[in-house]
Structure formats: C-alpha cells, structure tokens
Amino acid sequence: MPARPFLKWAGGKGQLLPELMTRLPTRFRRYHEPFVGGGALFFHLWNSGRLRGSAVLSDYNPELIACYESVRDHVEELIALLLDLRPHFGDREFFYAIRGWDRHPDFQQRPKVELAARTIFLNRTCYNGLYRLNNRGQFNAPFGNYRNPLIVDPENMREVSRALQQVELHVGDFSAVLERAEPGDLVYFDPPYVPVSATASFTAYTHQGFAEAEQRRLATVFMALAERGCFVMLSNSYTDLARTLYAGQPVHESIYASRKINCDGKKRGNVPELIVCSYEPRSQPVTR
Ligand SMILES: C[S@@+](CC[C@H](N)C(=O)[O-])C[C@H]1O[C@@H](n2cnc3c(N)ncnc32)[C@H](O)[C@@H]1O
C-alpha cells in the first residue's frame, strides 16, 4: 500500500507529480525538501523506490513538523487518539473546544502526541484544511461542517510512519538546507508561490508571509546549491518575477496542472506553473 500525505495542505503537489518525476536526476544521494507541507513528492519518491539515501524534510511551521515527528515515532498512540476523536466528527462545539486549547497557558505542556492529534483533527475538520493563525499565534480557521471527514486512515498512517523512519525532520527557514546538502543530493523547493495577481495572493502560510524579498533570497540559495553540485529542482507560478529569477537554468519550463487556485477550493483551473532544474534531467553522471 502506498503512503499518502496525511494532511490537507495548501499548495499540495498531487497534480504536478508526473511532471516532477520526469525531471528527476537519474540518481541522487540524500533528498531534501525544505518546504515540505503535505510532502506529496517525498511520499511519491518513497512509494516508487527512488529514495536510496535518507531524506531531510523541513518546514517553517513547528506544528506541521511536530505531526511528522509523532507519526514517525508514536504512530500507534497517535492513531488511538485520533480514533477516540471519531465520535466528535461534525460536532461544531467540540471543534471549537479543541481549537481553543492554544488559548490556555498550559497548551505547550500537553504531551506532544496529543498536540499532533489536535493539529490533524483541526486540519481535517476545519474549513478547507486551512492553516491560519491570528496575530497571537492562535489557530483560527473556522469549522468546516463536513459530514464525514476522514480524520484517520490507520493503514496509511502506519505506511507513512514506515516511510519516515530514515527521515531527519527540522523546523526552520529553507536556507538551513545550505548547512546540510552535499554534492549529489537532490533538493526540491516548493515555496509559497509568487502571486499570479494581487487578489490571488496566497502566501500567508506563516506569520511572516513570503514576499518578493523571500523569493529573491530563495533564488540565491538555489544558485549556491547548484554551484555546490547539488541537483536542485523548484516549482513556482509562471510569473515575471519567478521567470526572471531562474532565467538561464538548464530546465526552465512552463507546464499546466489542474489545481486549486484559491483558498475557497472551488476554483480549479489550468494555470501555467514553472519548473526549474539546475541540471539536465536523466543525463547526469551517476553519483554512486
Ligand atoms: C507550497 S507549500 C508546500 C507544499 C508541499 N510541497 C505539498 O506538496 O504539500 C509551502 C510550505 O512552505 C512553508 N514555509 C513558508 N515560509 C517558509 C520558510 N521561510 N522556510 C521554510 N518553510 C517555509 C509553509 O509552512 C508551507 O508548508
């Protein structure tokens, strides 16, 4: 059974996977994904046997990484906690009670696995899987009103846990990949996209957002890794800024993938996306 993302995450790469897979290098050492989110490409690589070395997954969002840690290290306990939550599916009051935990001073003292169960529960039952914090850092996405949300698929959780056993997890900024990646490693960047238009802006994944300065800083990190001899792959929107930042890379392509294009989740469309690689896919010398 394949391992699938266990969270609904904005910007999930499900639709783009075939395009990304055809552009992988023939072989690579470790795999790094510094904006891991739901981890669609990581799981796909694991399922297809392409991960020969270990992997390093990271993200700026500590609650997200805490979920990955709990699935990796305490999967049975986590499944049991999520199964206990099942009778409360569709219960608005219960949703707001659980959501309100982070308004109490003892919130961070709760066991980590309990916090991960809360994050997964909220992700699955809030409006559209939205991860949104108010300016006090409290989760504030509203109730999703789903009749029968799939909060836990125990078999998938166990498979995900297996996939994560050799994985190093970190919370932090994408630039920390510079401290870890070595020549021959594959780094896949899936940043919050450059907005296609001001109204389509969908960059507020974190308190800080991800503005033009961040996109420029990311391009610098991309070039430094390429220079080092890493295989670097990136997806972004097909916008003037993104195209300019990566102009001249060996792969610089516009592709179309049907995806959610705004946060109400209903608008789907074929929007062009940009894929950039620092190498010619499948024509690299074998690295090991
Ligand atoms: C487009 S999503 C990744 C989607 C993911 N590839 C998937 O398939 O679900 C972008 C992610 O970047 C993270 N992020 C935002 N700013 C960051 C930063 N400065 N460093 C690292 N991660 C960041 C967000 O928390 C979010 O999870």
Residue-wise pLDDT for 169-190, tens only, equals: 999 999 999 999 999 999 999 9
* Residue 259's pLDDT band (cuts 50, 70, 90): low
Q: How far is the CA of 235 from the centre of ligand 1 (A)?
A: 12
Q: What are phi and psi of 13, to 5 degrees?
A: -95, 15
- The pLDDT value recorded for residue 203 is 44
pLDDT per residue as tens digits for the range 83-101: 999 888 889 999 999 999 9
In this prediction, residues 203-208 reach a mean pLDDT of 45
Q: How far is the CA of 191 from the centre of ligand 1 (A)?
A: 5
Residues 6+ apart with CB under 8 A from 160: 3, 4, 6, 43, 71, 75
Q: How many C-beta atoms surround the C-beta of residue 220 within 10 A?
A: 12
C-alpha 100: how far from its chain's center? 25
- The pLDDT value recorded for residue 263 is 47
Q: How far is the CA of 214 from the centre of ligand 1 (A)?
A: 12
Domains and CATH numbers, the chain: 14-60+172-277 (3.40.50.150), 68-154 (1.10.1020.10)
Q: How far is the CA of 171 from the centre of ligand 1 (A)?
A: 11
Nearest CA to ligand 1 atom 23: 60
Q: How far is Cα 100 from Cα 41, in angstroms, rounded to an integer?
A: 33
Give ligand 1 pocket residues (Cβ under 6 A).
9, 11-13, 34-35, 37-38, 40, 59-61, 173-174, 190-192, 205-206, 210
Cβ–Cβ < 8 Å for 275, 251: yes
